């Protein structure tokens, strides 16, 4: 999981792994690792999800975590237009270590449509440039959360 601070990375993981949402904000410090088994008809996929602290203060620490990453879910906050620029930054960092790593872009906080600052067009343009799948998610409502992780799980298991 990559993205700027407060975009909802931890909330998306909590919704996916535990099936719940908590609106109390606690900033991730360093890294938190979660695990979830995803069932497929022909096999099981064991996901180790690294919730990496976002923002410029932690950017230089990412390389050690990204070396073994098979793929990434990169998150922006639809209510903060500055967070969309992180897609390219984090994808470039990931692809330094794994050129073909699949990326799923999660445009999060879709439930806050009245506060939205990022257009569909700009998101799709970035997704096309990064060769990434794009989903609109809401950790609060659960919209497309399972789908985003499933998409990434399927891509890394190929």
pLDDT tens-digit readout, 94-108 = 999 989 999 999 999
Average pLDDT over residues 30-48: 89
Smallest CA-to-CA distance from 50 within 102, 1, 108, 103 is with 1
For residue 56, give both structure tokens.
């410029």
Place domain 2-156 in its CATH homologous superfamily.
P-loop containing nucleotide triphosphate hydrolases (3.40.50.300)
Question: What is the model's pLDDT at position 58?
Answer: 42
CA distances from 76 to 4, 43, 64, 68 (A): 7, 31, 22, 23
% of the chain at pLDDT higher than 70: 90
Cβ of 18: how many Cβ atoms within 10 Å? 11
Return the higher-pLDDT residue of 44 and 31.
44
Per residue in 106-125, pLDDT tens? 999 999 999 999 999 999 99
Average pLDDT over residues 55-71: 69
Q: Which of 58-62, 82-86, 136-140 has the highest mean pLDDT?
A: 136-140
């Amino acid at each position: 999981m990559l993205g700027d601070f407060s975009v909802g990375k931890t909330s998306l993981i909590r919704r996916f792994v535990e099936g719940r949402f908590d609106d109390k904000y606690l900033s991730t410090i360093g890294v938190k690792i979660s695990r979830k088994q995803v069932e497929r008809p022909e096999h099981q996929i064991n996901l180790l999800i690294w919730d990496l602290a976002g923002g410029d203060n932690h950017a230089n620490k990412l390389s050690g975590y990204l070396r073994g990453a098979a793929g990434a879910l990169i998150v922006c906050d639809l209510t903060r237009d500055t967070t969309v620029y992180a897609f390219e930054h984090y994808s470039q960092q990931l692809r330094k270590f794994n050129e073909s790593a699949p990326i799923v872009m999660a445009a999060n906080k879709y439930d806050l449509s009245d506060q939205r600052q990022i257009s569909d067009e700009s998101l799709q343009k970035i997704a096309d440039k990064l060769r990434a799948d794009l989903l609109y998610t809401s950790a609060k409502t659960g919209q497309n959360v399972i789908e985003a992780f499933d998409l990434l799980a399927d891509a890394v298991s190929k």
